[in-house]
Amino acid sequence: MGFIRAYLRVSTIEQDVLRAKAEIKAFANSHGHQISNYYLEQFTGTSLDRPELNRLLNDITAGDIILIESVDRISRLKNDDWLKLKNIIEAKGVSVVALDLPTSHIALKQQGSGDDFVAAVLKAVNGMLLDILAATARKDYDLRRKRTLEGIARAKAADPTKYQGRRRNQTLWLSIKKLLNTSHTYTDIRSITGASRMTIAAVAKELKEEDNHDK
């Protein structure tokens, strides 16, 4: 077996990362393994283009294990993007182990220890369960987003002048734009401004749209 690489996608760095890291580390230790690398991400699971996920996919080699808390940590992707990610992982000969998916834990056992036929069956079953859980995670995301938009629509209908939604921090966005225009990396900008990668990505998208509009 190769390296065990833990992928942690969290919603808030300060609150989630220590808990998630401790839980994954304890799980690996309980199976007699140590984690070689941690890939920490504060980014939406609906996007396949994530900095730390891309770094993980570049680092993994045959025999490695990607360790995650649950499938929705690595994917809230649409079906085509999920299949693309799954194909990349399978092509590299890498296994995914999720703490909340017991059938995936078979990958943590040393090669040759146990019944190869049973291991093959469990691997096939695990692949199907991963597909189901990935689809469920996406459906859950779509449902929650739909309910949020419906709530916003009701609030606007009830009092159009009162509902303003979440206000953008104009000062922060202007600072991020200046840093992006001077070729600072996302890591640099996070350190300087304290902004999340999602916010920086949103500013970068707006800058790109402005640039295309000016051409």
Q: Where are the domains of the chain?
A: 4-137, 170-214
pLDDT at 57: 93
DSSP bridge pairs for 39: 7
Which CATH superfamily includes the segment(s) 4-137? Answer: Resolvase, N-terminal catalytic domain (3.40.50.1390)
Is pLDDT of 20 > 90? no
What is the mean predicted confidence (pLDDT) over 88-111? Answer: 82
Q: Is 131 exposed, middle or buried (0-12, 13-18, 19+ CB in 10 A)?
A: middle
pLDDT at 13: 56
pLDDT digits (tens, 9 = 90+) for 127-160: 777 777 777 777 777 887 788 878 878 877 777 6
User: What's the CA gap between 150 and 144, in Å, rounded?
Assistant: 10
What is the mean predicted confidence (pLDDT) over 165-189? Answer: 83
Lowest mean pLDDT among 2-16, 28-42, 112-126: 112-126
What is the mean predicted confidence (pLDDT) over 12-36? Answer: 83
User: What's the CA gap between 203 and 193, in Å, rounded?
Assistant: 13
High-pLDDT (> 90) share of the chain, %: 17
pLDDT at 149: 79
pLDDT digits (tens, 9 = 90+) for 30-85: 989 999 999 988 777 888 888 899 999 999 998 899 999 888 888 888 888 888 99
User: What's the CA gap between 77 and 174, in Å, rounded?
Assistant: 30
Quote the mean pLDDT of the chain.
81
pLDDT at 111: 44
169 or 173, higher pLDDT: 173
pLDDT at 108: 80
User: What's the CA gap between 134 and 124, in Å, rounded?
Assistant: 16
List all residues 6 or more positions away from 193 whose beta carbon is below 8 Å from its beta carbon. Answer: 172, 175, 176, 179
